[in-house]
Each structure stands twice: as structure tokens, then as C-alpha cells.
Amino acid sequence: MLRSLNRRFLANGCHCALWLATVFAMLSLSALPPSAQNQPLRVIAFGAHPDDCDQGAGGLAAKYAALGHKVKFVSITNGDAGHQSQHGEELANRRRAEAQEAGRRIGIEYEVLDNHDGKLLPNLEVREQVIREIRQWKADIVIAPRPNDYHPDHRYTGVLVQDASYMVIVPSLVADTPALARNPVFLYYSDRFTRPQPFRADIVVSIDDVFEKKIAMLDAHVSQFYEWLPWTVGQFEQVPKDPAERKKWLASTPMAARKLQPEWREALEKRYGPQAAARTQHAEAFEITEYGRQPTEEEIRMLFPFFSQTALHP
């Protein structure tokens, strides 16, 4: 936008008042998020295991990637424990390869850190890994689980990102990686846990237009969605053997389907318009944490450049 403004001014002969107006416009825009300056947004999401980010924000990531924004998923553990017959390095290598493939399918980066699965602790070493990741990515948005969850790795991933959420702007800490100039907006994935308080849907994004992409992403995590998770709930024998059939089966499971929840409707319709809930099947919801930058409604609409598209896919 600025470039075209400049070109127009130059074409008309650069009048001093117009030049000043341009400078003021640049100054005011520099305080706005990157999307307002025609730069890609930078989003980083953390999960405990190499499929957690995908479940909570795979659709959102696919939407950002389709618009040319930059997304990175980071698994804080290498997933080397969650399987009924494989474990250790063999499993970690398999899960890392699956994560790479999942990221490739929707056009985002995917990194798997080498902390052991099932043994994650919110210690200083891992906190510093998280701070480096957020700083190196120059994140505008950071997504993580809430620290209330059945799995200790999920809980501690929430704690670790919470613990990093102010430190990313403190230059004397983790001094090998330049601190961010301003705190990102930190979000929680949705979850079903109610104590000490239930998840609050502040931002709800329809993912109907990218649902197939999200399922393609989840489908890359063969060891998780077709082997380990079904095994933990006694459904391993029910998973179809044929790759196309099992993908269809995956799309029908609640964990993959992410159906719009009744308590998400209000936030959805706030930004997509009245009756949007009736047209929306699949969605992802996020809560704004109190520990990062608190975005205004105007900034939310810049950070989530999806809401102006009022025509939802039926």
C-alpha cells in the first residue's frame, strides 16, 4: 500500500505536505501488526508431541500459509514414548519424519525438539529453548496449550510457553538470541478441561475451506492417528487398512473433525456475521492469554485476516 502511495506521489510531483503525510502514515503504520504493512504475519505454535499443534491449529496454519503468511509448528518432545510396539530413537525418527511430511502438506515449517516424550519438565533449559524459538521466528502470534490437561507433557508445554511469554522481550536473558522488540499475542488452543476454569473462546476461525488440507496433514502422522491413539482406546482393530479408507475414518473422528461447539458460536458470529454458525461445520477456537500483548479488536482483525471473507463454504 505504501509503495503504491509513494508511486502516486512521485507521479504527481512530490509536494512537501504530501511527503509529510506519507511520513506520518509510515510512522503510524509501523505501530501496527505486519499484515497492515503488507508483510507476512509470523505465527509459531507449540505442542508437546509431534501431532498436538496439528490437532489444535492445523486448519488455522493452512489458512495462513495459503495467504503467504509464515507458520512454524514446534513439538517440544520427540514423541519417543507414545506407541504400543516402537520406542526410543526408532520411534523418534519415525515421528520426526511424519511431522516434516505433515508440515510439507500444508506449506509450513515443522521442528521437533529432542526432549524425551513423557518426561518433560518445565525447567530452565527447556524454557530457554522456547524463548529462542519464539525470538528466532520473530513471532507476532504464539500458540500453546493451557496448563490444565490430562497429560503432564501438555501441561508443562503450557507452563513453558507461559514462562517464556514475558522473557522473550528481556534482552539480558538468553542473550545469544536477540530479544523481540514487543511482546507477541499469546493464544491457547481449545480444550475440554473445566478446572480451575473452562476454556474461553475469544477467537473462532472457520476451517471448512481448509478441512481437507487439515485432514491431509493429520494423515501424515501414521504412527499416532492410525496406531497409537486408536490402541489407547481399544479401537486399533477398527482402523481401516486401506490408506484412502483410513483417511476417511480419521476425518470422521471427533479429534480430527473439530466440529463447531455451541459455546464457540458467539465469537464466530461476532466476526463472520449473524447466522454464520448455521453455515459452519468445522472450526478452531483460541483464547487470548493474559500474559502476552492484549490486542485491540482492530488488531485481532489484522492478525486474523480471514474475517472479511464473509462468504463461508457451506
Q: Which is nearer to Zn ion, 48 or 81 (CB)?
A: 48
| Closer residue to Zn ion, CB minimum distance, 151 or 279 | 151
Between CA 294 and CA 183 the distance in angstroms is: 9
* Closer residue to Zn ion (CB): 140 or 284: 284
Nearest to 120 by CA among 94, 93, 144: 144
Q: Which stretch binds Zn ion (CB under 5 A): 16-24, 45-53, 191-199, 264-272?
A: 45-53
With binding defined as CB under 5 A, does residue 52 bind Zn ion? yes
**By the rule CB under 5 A, 117 interacts with Zn ion:** no
Nearer to Zn ion, 48 or 217 (CB): 48
Tell the smallest beta-carbon distance from residue 49 to Zn ion (Å).
Answer: 4
> Which x/- pattern, by CB under 5 A, does the window 224-253 give for Zn ion?
------------------------------
Binding status of residue 49 toward Zn ion by CB under 5 A: yes
- Which DSSP string do the residues of 94-135 spell out, in sequence order? HHHHHHHHHHHHHT-EEEEEEEPTT-----HHHHHHHHHHHH
* Interacting residues of 284 by C-beta distance below 8 A, sequence separation 6+: 56, 57, 59, 60, 189, 190, 204, 205, 207, 258
- Tell me the closest approach of the beta carbon of residue 18 to Zn ion, in angstroms: 55
Which residues, at least 6 apart from 141, have a Cβ–Cβ distance to it below 8 Å?
Answer: 41, 42, 43, 44, 184, 185, 186, 187, 303
Establish if 54 lies at the interface with Zn ion (CB under 5 A): no
To the nearest whole angstrom, how small is the minimum distance from the Cβ of residue 279 to Zn ion? 31
Which single residue brings its beta carbon nearest to Zn ion? 49
Element (DSSP H or E) covering residue 61: helix 52-66
Assign 3-state DSSP to the chain and report helix, strand, coil percentages, each to 5.
50, 15, 35
Residue 95 lies near Zn ion (rule: CB under 5 A)? no
Chain residues binding Zn ion by CB under 5 A are 48-49, 52
